[in-house]
Amino acid sequence: MSGPPPVCVRALVVTGFGINCEEEMAAGLRLAGAEATVAHLNELFLGRVSLADFQILALPGGFSFGDDLGSGKVLANKLRFKRCASGQVLFEAVRELLRGGGHVLGVCNGFQALVKLGLLPNVTGDYQQEVTLTRNDSGRFEDRWCEVAVHPSSRSPVLEGLGRLRLPVRHGEGKLVIRDEAVRRAIVERALSCLAYCDERGEPTQRYPENPNGAELACAALTDPSGQVFGLMPHPEAALTLYNDPAWPQLRRAGATDEEGQGLSLLRNLVRHVAERRGR
């Protein structure tokens, strides 16, 4: 006798206005078991697509609005202030998604938008901007594969069971800067800086190029206190298979046997967690 049918997890991947990683993100979520829909942000504003029909909102990487006012800033303002055809501000629909147990994922430019929207780290719970992501210390766009390590006290479901990962970064503004000591203390005490650029020993590092941007706390990812919002600078959707990695021949000779990319592990965790919550 077969078991119950799998719980359907629906993910909305937004695009438009310079976002350019939507198809890779949708492909990764599908491989992870979700039903992924790619929609232009204007379709949400016009009421043709409703966030209420989804359990995951994904903001992919790219160059929204050309990063002309700082990466993710205009996108964050659109989400916070622009009203949909229903009269509802889209940011309120995002908060309703979270209140209903949904999750928000932001990668690179999407992470920058979540930070500037106040969804991350949101230590005070009032959705005000507490950190920013600004220009890399190197003064240039960084396109490389990096080693990142999961914080041992992380409670993010996206990182459950994971330790050290190899993922690509592609950004010019990835340096995390924290507003003040109170926010910094809360981030550290709650392990909200849940993924760190690391050295060959797996220890967080400020050393370049292992840390490609000079981020405080060597931070490569943040989660909010609820664990429902997760943002990271590295691109998991660009590491869906071992063969995405330019070093795959060396990795195979060194004994790697799993052909699944390490980025897919994060997306599988997210989809599995949402499915389990929906199935309860």
**Residues catalogued as catalytic:** 108, 235, 237
Residue type at 247?
A
- Strands 142-150 and 193-197, by their bridges, are antiparallel
Q: List Cα–Cα distances, 264 to 30, 56, 116, 159, in angstroms.
A: 10, 16, 26, 11
CA–CA distance, 38 with 114 (Å, rounded to integer): 19
Residue 105 pairs in a beta bridge with 58, 230
H-assigned helices in the chain = 22-31, 41-45, 73-81, 90-99, 109-117, 181-189, 248-253, 262-279
Q: Count of CB atoms within 10 A of residue 107's CB?
A: 29
Tokens, residue 230: 């997760």
CA–CA distance, 109 with 89 (Å, rounded to integer): 21
